């Protein structure tokens, strides 16, 4: 009974260690090939060869030697991704009602549109339909 329990426990530890190693390995490969644009191709090839030949030692050396740079490159990539996401959201969200009204007011002041056109643009920006304008008299 204890033999099977310890066998299962040992198998769980080995599987956990292997999955942890794979996560570290893929993190190193992502850092080498997608985030680090300053390292030459030959140096990258040497790192990969050593990762294949001496995987655990090479992963440990890489994390010690380049760990700080990995963190900085990951942070820079996260900041860039956040900036791109925010820009996309701003673009997709469109303009605010205040911006719409300010632009319409500038057109009115320039004489490009009439007062009735300004009122219609203002109502549309505020979310009122022309139907509600007729009912309320505004």
pLDDT digits (tens, 9 = 90+) for 83-133: 999 988 888 777 778 888 998 999 999 999 999 999 999 998 888 644 444
89/116 same-domain check: no
Orientation angle between helical segments 41-53 and 2-30, nearest 10 degrees: 170
125/63 same-domain check: no
CA dist., res. 9 & res. 60, Å (int)? 25
69/102 same-domain check: no
73/111 same-domain check: no
State phi, psi for 39 to the nearest 5 degrees.
-80, 140
CA dist., res. 113 & res. 96, Å (int)? 20
102/119 same-domain check: yes
CA 54 to chain centre: 33
73/101 same-domain check: no
Per-residue pLDDT of 30-63, as tens digits, reads 999 999 889 999 999 999 999 999 999 999 999 9
Show the domain range for 59. 2-93
80/108 same-domain check: no
18/80 same-domain check: yes
């Amino acid at each position: 009974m204890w033999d099977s329990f310890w066998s299962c426990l040992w198998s769980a530890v080995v599987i956990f260690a292997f999955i942890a190693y794979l996560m570290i390995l893929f993190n190193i490969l992502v850092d080498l090939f997608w985030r680090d644009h300053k390292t030459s191709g030959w140096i990258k090839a040497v790192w990969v060869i050593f990762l294949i030949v001496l995987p655990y030692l090479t992963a440990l050396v890489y994390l010690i030697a380049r760990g700080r740079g990995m963190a900085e490159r990951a942070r820079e990539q996260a900041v860039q991704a956040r900036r791109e996401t925010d820009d996309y959201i701003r673009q997709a969200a469109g303009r605010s009602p205040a911006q719409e009204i300010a632009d319409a007011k500038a057109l009115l002041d320039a004489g490009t549109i009439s007062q009735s056109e300004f009122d219609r643009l203002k109502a549309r920006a505020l979310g009122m339909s022309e139907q509600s304008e007729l009912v309320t008299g505004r």
